[in-house]
Amino acid sequence: MKGLQPYSRIWLTGAGSGIGEALALQLAKAGHSVVITARSEASLQALARQSERFIAAAADVTDPQALSEVATLIQARLGGLDCVILNAGTCEYLNDGRVDSALVRRVMETNFMGLVHCIDVAQPLLANSHSARLVAISSAAAYAPLPRAEAYGASKAAVSYFMETLRLDLAQQGVAVTVVYPGFVKTPLTDRNDFPMPMRVTAEAMAAAIHQGLVKGKPEIRYPKLFVGLVRCLGRLPFFIRTRLGLKMVRQKDGASHG
- Residues catalogued as catalytic: 152
Collapsing DSSP states into helix, strand and coil, what is residue 150? helix
Are 20 and 12 in contact by the 8 Å Cβ rule? The answer is yes
Are 3 and 216 in contact by the 8 Å Cβ rule? The answer is yes
- Total H helices, total E strands in the chain: 9, 9
Question: What is the Cα–Cα distance from 43 to 40, expressed in whole angstroms?
Answer: 5
- In angstroms, the Cα distances linking 104 to 136, 161, 184 are 20, 18, 21
Of 172, 159, 51, the closest CA to residue 114 belongs to 159
